[in-house]
């Protein structure tokens, strides 16, 4: 079954479906929705983490995990990341299994709406599929208004737009900012509070991701000099490279999905409209789509993921690894211009 925003929130808050599939390039939204399911089953629940390669190697494992009881009898749920077409046999086995008491949430960032994986979830018994795409400005306002109500915040639309602007149009960042504001104002559904300009001033948005927009734009535009300035600024501010590496990954994944549609014959404007590109990012996205072929996007994504893994390994060289990775990509793009 295809779920809308309201239906997916309700399904995650009261998990009764055997499978919930989150597909599409908005990794921040997918991760926030997955965290919502985690809160619903409770902090003490056991979470089993699998990924696409694990399901490919053992297609029966997912159904087995979904039917297994926790060692201590606690609640249990399964999260699958990086799911793709290689996961179809495992998902099919889960949906066809005689029983499966533990909910499964699968995140498939590169799966298209026409893929076998998504079709399986749409047609499968006891399954939901929800598309995670960056929302339009109007959609984002509506989403945040709903989130504010759930958190107990009475919010004027103008103040919600301030939150959106401070968060760089990133839905996941904006939601986290509302959560911080609700804590600051001691707001909850049963004790609502007014969101005020003063509260926004007192608790300014964590701009780590929003400020990295210029760095990401410099990498994609192939501007090493501008990138150097942004790296110096973020380094001086003490910003960890992990957030901006992941922000660049999300942008590359989003561009890859749009590039595939562009290569299939769609126009740039039609692709951006269908993928609900945030209006502030339309010009930069159009330039990137025209400048980046699919194979180069894939190479850049592999390079950035390798840099993140290297940074998180013990005894690493720290931010130098991340900076070298993005500088290499920006210089290569500059040569292609």
Nearest Cα neighbor of 20 from 112, 93, 126 is 126
Same-domain pairing of 10 and 125: yes
Q: Which residue has the tokens 């979470």?
A: 47
CATH number at residue 124: 3.40.50.300
Same-domain pairing of 270 and 183: no
Same-domain pairing of 214 and 326: yes
**CA 135, 246, 260, 81 torsion-angle sign:** negative
Same-domain pairing of 173 and 261: no
Among 66, 101, 131, residue at a domain's last position:
131
Contacts of 51 (CB under 8 A, 6+ apart): 80, 81, 82, 83
Strand partners, 191: 188
User: Phi/psi at 4 (nearest 5 deg)?
Assistant: -95, -175
Same-domain pairing of 107 and 194: no
pLDDT tens-digit readout, 49-92:
999 999 999 999 999 999 987 665 578 899 999 899 999 999 99
Among 164, 182, 206, residue at a domain's last position:
206
Into how many domains does the chain fold? 3
Same-domain pairing of 51 and 106: yes
Same-domain pairing of 260 and 315: yes
CATH number at residue 233: 1.20.272.10
Structure-block tokens of residue 32: 């926030």
Number of H helices, E strands in the chain: 18, 7
Q: What is the mean pLDDT of residues 267-277?
A: 87
Distance, in Å, from the CA atom of 210 to the CA atom of 93, rounded to the nearest integer, reads 41
Among 206, 233, 262, residue at a domain's last position:
206
pLDDT band, very low/low/confident/very high, at 195 (cuts 50, 70, 90): very high
Distance, in Å, from the CA atom of 332 to the CA atom of 329, rounded to the nearest integer, reads 5
Q: What is the mean pLDDT of residues 94-106?
A: 90
Label residue 126 left, alpha or beta by phi (over 0 means left) and psi (-120 to 50 means alpha). Answer: left
- Residue 191 DSSP label: B
Half-sphere exposure of 167 (CA within 13 A, CB side): 26
pLDDT tens-digit readout, 169-184:
667 778 878 988 998 8
Q: Say what the pTM is.
A: 0.53
pLDDT band, very low/low/confident/very high, at 277 (cuts 50, 70, 90): confident
Same-domain pairing of 319 and 217: yes
User: What domain range is 38 assigned to?
Assistant: 5-131
Torsion of CA 216, 221, 225, 227, to 10 degrees: 10
CATH number at residue 191: 1.10.8
Half-sphere exposure of 274 (CA within 13 A, CB side): 16
Same-domain pairing of 33 and 143: no
Same-domain pairing of 127 and 158: no
Same-domain pairing of 221 and 312: yes
Distance, in Å, from the CA atom of 191 to the CA atom of 286, rounded to the nearest integer, reads 44
Same-domain pairing of 250 and 313: yes
């Amino acid at each position: 079954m295809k779920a809308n925003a309201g239906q997916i929130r309700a399904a995650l808050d009261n998990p009764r479906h055997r499978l919930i599939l989150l597909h599409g390039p908005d990794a921040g939204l997918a991760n926030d929705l997955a965290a919502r399911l985690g809160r619903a089953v409770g902090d003490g629940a056991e979470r089993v983490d699998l990924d696409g390669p694990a399901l490919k190697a053992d297609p029966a494992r997912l159904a087995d995990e979904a039917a297994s009881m926790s060692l201590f009898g606690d609640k249990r749920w399964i999260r699958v990341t990086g799911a793709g077409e290689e996961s179809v046999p495992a998902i099919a086995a889960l949906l066809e299994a005689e029983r499966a008491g533990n909910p499964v949430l699968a995140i498939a960032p590169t799966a298209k709406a026409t893929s076998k994986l998504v079709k399986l979830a749409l047609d499968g018994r006891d399954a939901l599929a929800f598309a995670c795409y960056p929302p339009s400005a109007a959609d984002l306002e509506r989403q945040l208004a709903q989130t504010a109500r759930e958190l107990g915040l009475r919010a004027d639309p103008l103040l919600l737009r301030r939150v959106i602007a401070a968060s760089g149009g990133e839905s996941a960042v904006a939601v986290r900012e509302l959560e911080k504001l609700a804590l600051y104002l001691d707001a909850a559904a049963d004790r609502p509070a007014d969101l005020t300009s003063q509260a926004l001033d007192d608790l300014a948005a964590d701009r780590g991701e929003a400020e990295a927009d210029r760095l990401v734009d410099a990498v994609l535009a192939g501007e090493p000099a501008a990138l150097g300035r942004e790296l110096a600024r973020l380094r001086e501010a003490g910003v960890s490279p992990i957030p901006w590496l992941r922000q660049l990954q999300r942008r590359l994944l989003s561009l890859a999905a749009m590039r595939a549609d562009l290569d299939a014959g769609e126009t740039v404007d039609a692709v951006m409209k269908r993928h609900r590109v945030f209006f502030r990012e339309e010009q930069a996205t159009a330039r990137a789509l025209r400048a980046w072929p699919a194979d180069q996007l894939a190479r850049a994504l592999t390079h950035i993921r390798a840099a993140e893994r290297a940074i998180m390994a013990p005894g690493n060289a720290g931010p130098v690894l991340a900076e070298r990775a993005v500088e290499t990509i920006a210089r290569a793009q500059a040569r292609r211009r």
